[in-house]
Chains A and B, each alone.
Chain A
């Protein structure tokens, strides 16, 4: 099963060469190089960002309002469980077979994938906010909207953001197979081996992994920024 180290290193150096230098494919097309990598990476980010934004717009208000009212637990939790069971490949194939190819269709498919974790976590996050804090806010005369925006949402940031991160990971990962639906993301290098060759496939895998890790790191940073300072101090004081 294992192959010699030299051949592994050879594969990876070929992949890095593919990323940095444009070359001719067997079919004669110009492939690889930073220009094409940049194009695909931008499309990958674009479709992922659109889908994540769409999922946030749909799922966050719904989860927050349901959590605030303490209703619809079944819906929020069942959505989370059902969402995990959706096979990513089947979802993209479903879009291709029933709706068609293109950026909009892929965005919708990815958006569907992003809704469950955000919905579940925003519901659970808001529900878990200390009831005493909410009562205190009401006692101070805050309106329901004020309670949500100034008390519940800030305190629920860690849970909500963990749902957003799960959604983002799923979306970026699934955007890798978007080329099946005609959207040329970094996954095109992986899926169309006959165009890009083995170097291109490995390069695509490296790039997709790096992109996913970068997005995850960025969102982890965003989570730190959004988490209220008091909550951070509280966490630091109580060892995880």
Chain B
């Protein structure tokens, strides 16, 4: 335990804040006993999780939306210029490989602490996944479908928006699902960048050794990932009712 305390020396202000809420809040024995899961503590302290959960939702939504906007633009640009695909894939691959935690702190001298930094790093992480799926989706559009469009007198632009993109929807949404679920999990690290989110309830809000706190924050994150996934499946059904999801 002493070893652990030394490990957590950087969280000393946090630890004192934690002992403060032990006295102020109900369910204090839950923290002393530290059982597997203490429902009473969660019920008494549920309000602690509202702000981190909302922060988490914002981090994920903004990052995935930005990631989609950038990846979509990159995919459209490289759609008619095939030679661009390998370099863009390599560049987004590097961004994907750099661990988010390292990315946060590489950005710190430039963008400072806060959710901007967290959002930039999380956005960078999603690019590779979304870009690859949009490119694959557009490439897998059957040649016959495109020929029909051309035969109807469509321009390249009309072909893209009316034939190719709608037919690529299942794969694009499959990419967005993967990106969103991964980002929900990764956003727990945003707390290290000063970006808040559910991670703050794991490392600082209660304590990393407080079982009920860890389970609750982790549980909310997993539920959020499942919720986003269900939303995407629904969106995909609405956007392409003629086709079922094809796993990539």
Contacts and interface: CB of A to CB of B under 8 A. Distances in A.
Contacts of A109: none
How many interface residues does chain B have, given as a range? Answer: 35 or more
A138 B161 CA distance: 47
> Considering residues B184, B202, B210, B217, which has the most beta carbons from chain A within 10 angstroms of its beta carbon?
B202
Interface stretch (A50-58, A141-149, A202-210): A202-210
A29 to B, nearest CB: 11
A93 B105 contact: no
B214 interface: yes
Interface stretch (A4-12, A64-72, A224-232): A4-12
Interface stretch (B17-25, B91-99, B143-151, B236-244): B91-99
A174 to B, nearest CB: 8
B225 interface: yes
B10 A193 contact: yes
A101 B4 contact: yes
Contact of B222 (A87, A88, A93, A169): A87
Main secondary structure of the interface of B (DSSP, over half): helix
A195 B10 contact: yes
A3 B102 contact: no
A182 interface: yes
Interface stretch (A16-24, A32-40, A77-85, A129-137): A77-85
Interface residues of A, number: 52
Given A3-B112, A87-B221, A212 B97 contact: yes
B192 interface: yes
A209 B7 contact: no
A201 interface: yes
A172 B99 contact: yes
B37 to A, nearest CB: 10
Q: A90, A101, A240: which has the most chain B beta carbons within 10 Å?
A: A90
B7 A179 contact: yes
Contact of B218 (A7, A93, A174): A93
A76 to B, nearest CB: 10
A26 interface: no
B131 interface: no
Given A8-B109, A201-B105, A209-B106, A180 B7 contact: yes
A212 B109 CA distance: 21
A177 B203 CA distance: 11
Given A87-B188, A93-B218, A202 B182 contact: no
Nearest to B8: A180
A124 B218 CA distance: 29
Given A85-B185, A87-B188, A213-B97, A97 B211 contact: yes
Interface of A: 1-3, 7-8, 11-12, 77, 81, 84-91, 93-94, 96-98, 101, 124, 169, 172-174, 176-177, 179-180, 182, 187, 190-195, 201-202, 204-206, 208-209, 212-213, 216, 239-240
23 contacts: A3-B110, A8-B109, A77-B247, A85-B221, A85-B222, A96-B208, A96-B209, A97-B210, A101-B3, A173-B99, A173-B101, A176-B99, A179-B7, A182-B4, A192-B10, A194-B10, A195-B9, A201-B108, A206-B106, A212-B102, A213-B94, A213-B98, A216-B93
Given A94-B215, A98-B211, A212-B102, 15 more contacts: A8-B109, A85-B221, A86-B222, A87-B199, A89-B203, A94-B218, A97-B210, A124-B247, A174-B99, A190-B101, A193-B10, A194-B9, A194-B10, A201-B108, A213-B98
